[in-house]
Amino acid sequence: MKFNTQLLHGNAIKRYPDGATLPPISQVSAFAYETAQDLEKVFNNRAPGYAYTRISNPVVDSFERRVCELEGGKGAVACSSGMSAVTLALLNILEAGDEIIAGSGLFGGTIDLFGDLKAFGITTRFAKQITVEEIAPLITDKTKVVFGEVIGNPGLDVIDLKAVSEFVHSKGIPLIVDSTTATPYLVQPIAYGADVVVHSSSKYINGGGNAISGVIVDSGKFSWDNKRYPGFAEYQKYGEFAYVAKLRNGIWRNMGGCLAPMNAFLNFIGMDTLGLRMDKICSNALELAKAVDGLNGVTANYPALENNPYKPLVESQLNGMGGGILTMRVGSKERAYQLMNHLKYALNATNIGDVRTLVIHPASTIYIHNTEEQMRDAGVYADTIRVSVGIEDGSDLIEDFTSAIKDLD
Ligand SMILES: *Cc1c(COP(=O)(O)O)cnc(C)c1O
């Protein structure tokens, strides 16, 4: 089965009650049983079933299984948001005194989070890019994880997953990647050696911009050595399921970062068209990047452009596609605002992965809490516009952007 067929008919798709073609939305907090004994069994994982939606729920389960299959993982856990997924994926393995190595071209909220984790004794060392050369000097005895985005948002650096995962594994360290911008349609990071994959499923997986959510997928392949990861001692018995068992029975359940049933359903129906949308979005983005690059003082950054340093990785690792985001440098903040205000179709909104094209000026919005240096490292300048390309007709988008650019002062 290829991607779209697997999406619609894979193992994760079950028979639902009454022949329904989609999972029912179990919009409940709790599940009742005939007897106290029955509930006791379910509660203590000695019988299959659901007890309470913070811990598990059928439609959430259906969503998790589907993402897990697409990513080729062992288990998946859905979360209330992408930030909750990033946070819990890391806290599941970290303790006070531990260090994270992270790329600097990350989503602004994730960089902010690493600042917040300092109060809990967890420090982050930033590498300009997640490459073997950049991370090697940052590794210490305390390094417990390397974290990066497969395609950085908004830096648009691409991680060489195979090279980096081989290197970090040789040091006994796992690689956790945020693959929100790449999606499983471009790459399954686990097949290239990543140990855990997280998504803000608010973006491309949902696709319609109608629900906030996140998901964590574990490969089951990393061996969590008790000396380096003492918290895993009691979970060794779960073998390949150790990471997910620890997450479900620990920090995820107790912090209460569960996904709402209705939002799981919205993701479930949205992801039916993930492959179709990504095809259209990636071809629109490439055409748009080509059309605006070099026009009236504008330069475009897009991984699939011929002159982009990541073009070879786009070919070898991302199925030839550059994703749905491009950034443009337009000369000044004034010109950036002038361009954004002139566009007919692109909405001024802080999101990505919508079917509608969205634009934002990152320096005055998403990056407002970050330092100048953090902005530069993430490829954000005063004149940078980020475009999240939608599924409109490409020729209309190109006409809209090129005429706005030609009119710039
Ligand atoms: C949006 C985003 C997040 C955060 O996700 P939310 O669902 O908004 O909490 C994390 N990582 C990346 C790459 C994102 O684009």
Based on DSSP, count helices (H) and strands (E) in the chain, helices before strands: 16, 12
Residue 93 scores a pLDDT above 90: yes
User: Looking at residue 38, what is its pLDDT?
Assistant: 97
Could you tell me if the CB of 386 is within 6 A of ligand 1? no
Instruction: For residue 382, give both structure tokens.
Output: 């005063």
User: Looking at residue 367, what is its pLDDT?
Assistant: 87
Please state which of the ranges 154-163, 172-181, 187-196, 366-375 shows the lowest mean pLDDT.
366-375
Ligand 1 atom 8, closest CA: 82
User: Looking at residue 257, what is its pLDDT?
Assistant: 96
Average confidence (pLDDT) over 202-211? 98
Q: Are 59 and 24 in contact (CB under 8 A)?
A: yes
Residue 208 scores a pLDDT above 90: yes
Could you tell me if the CB of 212 is within 6 A of ligand 1? yes
Q: How many CB atoms lie within 10 A of CB 301?
A: 21
Residue 14 scores a pLDDT above 90: no
Q: Are 99 and 122 in contact (CB under 8 A)?
A: yes
Could you tell me if the CB of 214 is within 6 A of ligand 1? yes
Atom index in ligand 1 nearest the CA of residue 352 equals 15
CA distance 305 to 320: 11
Please state which of the ranges 221-230, 324-333, 353-362 shows the lowest mean pLDDT.
221-230
pLDDT band at 331 (very low <50, low <70, confident <90, very high): very high
User: Looking at residue 160, what is its pLDDT?
Assistant: 98
Could you tell me if the CB of 181 is within 6 A of ligand 1? yes
SS3 239: helix
Going from the Cα of 211 to the center of ligand 1, the distance in angstroms, rounded, reads 12
**Choice from 156, 202, 366, 387 to test ligand 1 binding pocket (greatest atom count within 8 A of CB):** 202
Ligand 1 atom 6, closest CA: 82
User: Looking at residue 225, what is its pLDDT?
Assistant: 84
Residue 12 scores a pLDDT above 90: yes
pLDDT band at 79 (very low <50, low <70, confident <90, very high): very high
In the chain, % of residues over pLDDT 70: 100
Which ranges constitute the DSSP H helices of 101-225?
108-117, 132-135, 161-170, 183-186
Q: How many CB atoms lie within 10 A of CB 272?
A: 15
Q: Are 318 and 158 in contact (CB under 8 A)?
A: yes
Could you tell me if the CB of 81 is within 6 A of ligand 1? yes
User: Looking at residue 252, what is its pLDDT?
Assistant: 98
Q: List for the chain the helix, strand, coil content (%; round to 5).
A: 45, 15, 45
**Choice from 90, 106, 149, 200 to test ligand 1 binding pocket (greatest atom count within 8 A of CB):** 200
**Choice from 84, 112, 113, 153 to test ligand 1 binding pocket (greatest atom count within 8 A of CB):** 153
DSSP H or E run through 123: strand 123-127
User: Looking at residue 138, what is its pLDDT?
Assistant: 98
Going from the Cα of 256 to the center of ligand 1, the distance in angstroms, rounded, reads 18
User: Looking at residue 370, what is its pLDDT?
Assistant: 84
Average confidence (pLDDT) over 75-104? 98
User: Looking at residue 374, what is its pLDDT?
Assistant: 86
Condensed to tens digits (0 to 9), the pLDDT of residues 26-72 reads 999 999 999 999 999 998 889 999 999 999 999 999 999 999 999 99
Average confidence (pLDDT) over 76-81? 98
CA distance 107 to 366: 8
Q: Are 63 and 31 in contact (CB under 8 A)?
A: no
Question: In 128-273, where do the E strands start and end?
Answer: 143-149, 175-178, 196-200, 214-218
Q: Are 186 and 319 in contact (CB under 8 A)?
A: yes
Residue 177 scores a pLDDT above 90: yes
Among the ranges 99-108, 206-215, 359-368, which has the highest mean pLDDT value? 206-215
Q: Are 180 and 153 in contact (CB under 8 A)?
A: yes
Atom index in ligand 1 nearest the CA of residue 83 equals 9
User: Looking at residue 378, what is its pLDDT?
Assistant: 87
Give the residue, 225 or 142, on which the prediction is more confident. Answer: 142
Could you tell me if the CB of 180 is within 6 A of ligand 1? yes
User: Looking at residue 190, what is its pLDDT?
Assistant: 98
CA distance 109 to 170: 30
